[in-house]
Structure 1
Amino acid sequence: MDGAVTVTGTAESPVDPGAGFLRSFGRQVKLLREAAGLTQAELGTSVGYGEAHIASVEQGRRIPKPEMVEAMDRAVGGRGVLVAMKGEVERARYPSFFRQYVRLEAEAAQLHAYDSHVVKGLLQTEEYARAVFEMWRPLLDADTVEQRVAARMERQRLFSRRPAPLLSFVIEETVLRRPLGGRIVLRAQLEQLLLHGHERNIEIQVMPTEREEHAGLAGAFTLLHIGDRRRMAYMEVQNESALHSDPKKVGAFESTYGVLRAQALTPRESLTFIKKLLGEQ
């Protein structure tokens, strides 16, 4: 990804390498379990899950959490075989079109995002994220919703990374007024934005609906700075994505983002605005 590259992806791809990996991982779990002389029920009891859960993992239909992978490895005497696959298992939680972006996001020294429909995933509360995934069309099944929510919460480890990345977000006022999941969920989300907005490495800006000029009409996007030189731009719409590293394309997005920040409320004005919205809930 060091040259001028544009990578596109779609959730509608007929072959999902993540699904194939999960089936392979499940077969490995089954082989190790049987070699250890354990039934599915016995393994489930050992790691704190039900027999049906173990069966789903072995069939590649359920994605185990990292701590479950570690527990299964210990229970079957895997000697680190399952743990070695933990990273790939975790990435399989994400839709196929999103996985490459997630890897880059975790490495980012800077991340800057403009959002026009929902609060950025990195900033979402668990209940807000669940509401977003439950509204997904076509509908996601309950297990997939919980997997996606857990994966979204895992991404927020970025906030505790040291050295801390520099993060900024421009969010449309309409996003902050839209009560996805209900008023209680929205209130908790606004409170979380206030908490993040007071961090020294995070700046949140609100784009007022009343603005007569707006540079972001082409839609939402995210800018990533990886290390000192790699700059990338990411876009996603209707389960299709594009990841750009072409300096000209990335530069155009950076220019747009600069104008958006100038048009939006300042970070201090934005926190005051969010406090005002909280008072209206």
Structure 2
Amino acid sequence: MTLEPEQMGQSQQELAYMLKALRKRAGLSGDRLAARCNISQSKISRIENGRVRPSLVDIERILTALDVPPRVAAEVSALARIANTEWQDARAMRRKGLDKKQWELAGLESSSTELRYFLLSMITGLLSTPEYIRATLSHVPGDHSNTIAKKLERQEVLYDRSKRFTFILTEQAARSPFVSPDAMAVQLDRLVSLSRLPNVRLAVLPMEIPLPGCPLNTFTIYDSRLSTVEISTGVMVFRDPRDVRDHFDEFSGYERHALFGDEAREKIEEWSAAFRS
């Protein structure tokens, strides 16, 4: 199924309208539908008013309760998948202010327990030094002091022992020289230091290690409920359990090949020494 960006912006309201129309066509009140599919009446109301994005499980239960024809069920399910996929345009994010995106990320980190990061081409803000963060924003016009401050503030979540973090960095991500050699060495030293936190697992994928498949994007998985994919023109947000599971399976494949613990630290220290020399 092709997902057009403009569809993603409109699909939730369209889905809400369609579900409400199907319920009325079936001659059911909101209360009766709620009882049939074991969803609270208040949630049914919020779904039909477009205030809550229903999960695909919610959709399946509602469609079963309404006993809709297969063709209609397929149409609604396709629309629901679009509604569970969000496109965040990079230009729009810059117009709003990149610091607003940092508030959103902080909210995701706060509400998640198990966070997995696959880093293809650069080091994520949670692991970055101030100089590295500043350099990665240098190509974007404007004052980024608020964004940098918020990125650094977000790093406090790494010390929350109730959360577990797994970071897998390719050699390209770890060694791409966004800052001077001395500053890159300091950045790599920070990776080694953070890898010793009890709730942080940090791994590297050196270039000599053959990988399962071909990694194309940086992505993050928040528990088992949501995954995000970063591309040069924006961010895709996936809530469809099938999409999240696919990202989890891809992550697990890299995890099986990556170097963790002392092996990872030894490799990172080798790279750091190369920058210092």
The answer, yes or no, to whether TM exceeds 0.5 is yes
Please list, as runs of the form range in 1=range in 2, the aligned pairs for 1:150-189 lying within 5 A after superposition: 150-161=149-160, 163-189=161-187
Over 3 Å counting, the alpha-carbon distance change for 1:13 and 1:119 in structure 2 is closer
Over 3 Å counting, the alpha-carbon distance change for 1:279 and 1:239 in structure 2 is same
Q: What is the Cα deviation at residue 149 of structure 1?
A: 1.1
Unpaired segments ≥5 residues, structure 2: 1-52, 57-83
Q: Please identify runs of 4+ aligned residues in structure 1 that moved more than 3 A.
A: 13-16, 98-102
2: CA distance, partners of 1:110 / 1:2: 23
Match of 2:121 in 1: 117
Q: Please, which of 238, 247, 271 is the counterpart of residue 241 of structure 2?
A: 247
Q: What is the Cα deviation at residue 14 of structure 1?
A: 9.6
Unpaired segments ≥5 residues, structure 1: 20-91
The amino acid across from 2:86 in the alignment is V
Q: Deviations over 1:82-123 (max 9, x none)?
A: xxxxxxxxxx7234xx65444212221111011111101110
Over 3 Å counting, the alpha-carbon distance change for 1:216 and 1:121 in structure 2 is farther
Q: Please, which of 91, 104, 115 is the counterpart of residue 12 of structure 1?
A: 91
2: CA distance, partners of 1:195 / 1:279: 15
Q: What is the Cα deviation at residue 15 of structure 1?
A: 11
The amino acid across from 2:216 in the alignment is A
Match of 1:261 in 2: 255
Over 3 Å counting, the alpha-carbon distance change for 1:12 and 1:265 in structure 2 is same
Q: What is the Cα deviation at residue 170 of structure 1?
A: 0.6
Q: Deviations over 1:53-105 (max 9, x none)?
A: xxxxxxxxxxxxxxxxxxxxxxxxxxxxxxxxxxxxxxx7234xx65444212
Higher helix share: 2
Contact 1:173–1:209 under 8 Å retained in 2: yes
The DSSP-based 3-state class of the residue aligned with 1:171 is: strand
Contact 1:207–1:263 under 8 Å retained in 2: yes
* TM score, norm. by length of structure 1: 0.64
Q: What is the Cα deviation at residue 2 of structure 1?
A: 5.9
2: CA distance, partners of 1:201 / 1:15: 33
Percent identical: 20
Q: What is the Cα deviation at residue 11 of structure 1?
A: 2.9
The amino acid across from 2:141 in the alignment is L
Please list, as runs of the form range in 1=range in 2, the aligned pairs for 1:142-157 lying within 5 A after superposition: 143=143, 145-157=144-156
Q: What is the Cα deviation at residue 216 of structure 1?
A: 4.8
The DSSP-based 3-state class of the residue aligned with 2:86 is: strand
Matched pairs, number: 196
